[in-house]
Chains A and B, each alone.
Chain A
């Protein structure tokens, strides 16, 4: 086995070529030969964002991103308000906080997916962030920071309802990682009426009390 690099840098970013294009797995086997994808993505947009300054993106600057790039973060900032319509707090600060925390937990989750599925997600996110593919496959015309919640919602519906299984798969990947990171978080348990682990058991079990 090769020793996979934990971080994605431009050098080892998977080539998006005409022939193999999100071929398999988690991200969605998106072999669409009609799409011409020769342009190498330039710049360092897909490098992990690391510590994103609070001014820059309103993220908690103490969190160190290990997988998501700045573009990915922007993508999720655009998608999550549609993903969690009716579930996110209305109050702007709390809302921003809930979105930022969810994106951080998405990042943490993906780190544990391991190299192979990370590669799949990298392809999926690159595809959504690269204008020509974003336009042709997602039919999202503007870049993510300027996408409205309505357009994000329309995009999610398109991929869910598409007759192309590969796009359905992309939808499942995006919603699954987001749903788990959001509804699985203890601050959001109330949304699913889950009271959490029974208090009597927590009281009785040694691992909840630092001896």
Chain B
């Protein structure tokens, strides 16, 4: 393997990394801090604490995959890098959930879009939830610090045609559009961010904070699932964890007990509330798992006259916020418009269908363009989010009822996306919906979309942004942690991931997670070093 790869080099240099599938006997380990999850939040936390000289153990249920494994192949990547082998869905099956499960978490498979938390969102939190410490000007230095750490900058290479069509359509209609900042260094503009960056250009946790933590003597267990935090009186005494066998999903039977002064949970939305529920931690107001948000996503596809090759090039480089805060922060639901990459398995899984019709649809893939709307859920009383609970086997599941408020936004988004695609010269547009045909004009599309039933399963919905479920707030009656991610009831427990967001973000969340985790970890490091 190439010694230009920082992970291969680090492993060769003696990083303390344990593949739990290789363990044959139960064991107990101890550190100052145990961090559960190695994604945006966990990686940031581990690096900051380890740099302060604290001993840190990282626990990751997924496995360690790196450059040698990233071969631009969808099937192997979806099976190994995603939660539930890419089959995760909401409780009723109506929303497909894309979420990472590997070292680096979702940042290993994310599409590199890097946005600060919108001011509107931060102001809403500070005005409505007592989180005035999180106002835009106080957060600005934390965003800036993380933008530097992850090399985030607006993408200067021309967008691929898939993204350029969003720009063209917006320009024609007088809608605003912008270039997306990306966390990349020396990006080859290949378009495989979703299956693990093959060039190491993507500056996710895997290329930044995880090596940073391991260089500072942190220990990493991968293929080790956190099962239960066990309390002794009012503190967490230890974490009970199960090693996965060689396939990464079936427990081998070996367990690891992890003791620490402090525990940081960063297993993300769905994962973190799941762990807290399994652990039966104090939850006097029954808040854990509630108010889980997902930026529900719907999509349209267009057939363009020219080849789009939507599988090549930086997956996301143009966005439009025209509709995001159009009706204020808490009016009818707003949405951000972006573009998804389309590779064959993804396209075939997302566009529902079978037989000759499906074959014909997919045969047009090189000419296909797609726009997605990411709905800003959680800012309105008719958008209370979903609830995480436990299945029989203890694994977490998200129940997410789609309210009429959201359905209105979903329909409006189908309309806006179709209009933009026609304005950009689409020959035909289809809503990703079981009842949609191919519409050949905007007037036809408008009439038809207005008739489409807005019902679960028929409208195809997705999420790649899981948030909330352990929401932060000043008042323990309606939150799980305070504004620093500190658990309201358990003193030696913090939560540093997307699960603490009290609403959705209204932008792709990675930078929000990085920045809050950095801020909260600095405070935690001071506390623990001082103690």
Q: Is the CB of A168 within 8 A of B363?
A: no
Q: Is the CB of B93 within 8 A of A175?
A: no
Nearest CB of chain A from residue B192's CB, rounded to whole Å: 7
Q: Is the CB of B75 within 8 A of A105?
A: yes
Q: B235 to chain A: which residues have CB within 8 Å?
A: none
CB of A194 within 8 Å of the partner chain: yes
Give which listed residue, B1, B93, B345, contacts A25 with CB less than 8 A: B93
CB of A108 within 8 Å of the partner chain: yes
Contact-residue bracket for chain A:
35 or more
Known contacts A25-B92, A168-B457, A183-B344; decide if A207 and B70 are in contact (CB<8 Å).
Answer: yes
Residue on B nearest A81 in the bound complex, by CB: B355
Alpha-carbon gap, A189 to B75, bound state (A): 12
Q: Is the CB of B190 within 8 A of A201?
A: yes
Nearest CB of chain A from residue B361's CB, rounded to whole Å: 9
CB of A3 within 8 Å of the partner chain: yes
Q: Is the CB of A176 within 8 A of B71?
A: no
Alpha-carbon gap, A115 to B393, bound state (A): 8
Q: Is the CB of A180 within 8 A of B349?
A: yes
Alpha-carbon gap, A11 to B4, bound state (A): 51
Q: B177 to chain A: which residues have CB within 8 Å?
A: none
CB of A156 within 8 Å of the partner chain: yes
Q: Is the CB of A25 within 8 A of B394?
A: no
Q: CB within 8 Å of B: which of A142-184?
A: 153, 156, 160-161, 165, 168-169, 171-173, 175-184
CB of B353 within 8 Å of the partner chain: yes
Q: B343 to chain A: which residues have CB within 8 Å?
A: 184, 194
Nearest CB of chain B from residue A66's CB, rounded to whole Å: 9
Q: A119 to chain B: which residues have CB within 8 Å?
A: 392-393
Give which listed residue, B79, B86, B345, B391, contacts A108 with CB less than 8 A: B79
Q: Is the CB of A82 within 8 A of B344?
A: no
- Mark each residue of chain A from 169 to 211: 1 if its CB lies under 8 Å from any CB of chain B, else 0: 1011101111111111110110111100110011001111001
**Chain B interface residue count, Cβ-Cβ cutoff 8 angstroms:** 74
Known contacts A82-B355, A173-B93; decide if A183 and B362 are in contact (CB<8 Å).
Answer: yes
CB of B249 within 8 Å of the partner chain: yes
Give which listed residue, A114, A181, A193, A211, contacts B363 with CB less than 8 A: A193
Q: Is the CB of A176 within 8 A of B312?
A: no
Residue on A nearest B351 in the bound complex, by CB: A179
CB of A61 within 8 Å of the partner chain: no
Q: Is the CB of B71 within 8 A of A208?
A: yes
Q: B460 to chain A: which residues have CB within 8 Å?
A: 172
Q: Is the CB of B72 within 8 A of A197?
A: yes
- Mark each residue of chain B from 433 to 472: 1 if its CB lies under 8 Å from any CB of chain A, else 0: 0100000000000000000000111101000000000000
Which A residues fall within an 8 A CB radius of B? 1-4, 6, 24-29, 82-87, 105, 108-117, 119, 153, 156, 160-161, 165, 168-169, 171-173, 175-186, 188-189, 191-194, 197-198, 201-202, 205-208, 211
Closest 5 CB pairs of A and B: A184-B345, A112-B85, A206-B2, A183-B348, A179-B348
Q: Known contacts A175-B354, A205-B199; can you find 11 more A-B pairs with CB under 8 A?
A: A2-B394, A25-B93, A27-B93, A112-B79, A115-B249, A116-B84, A116-B393, A191-B362, A192-B347, A193-B364, A208-B71
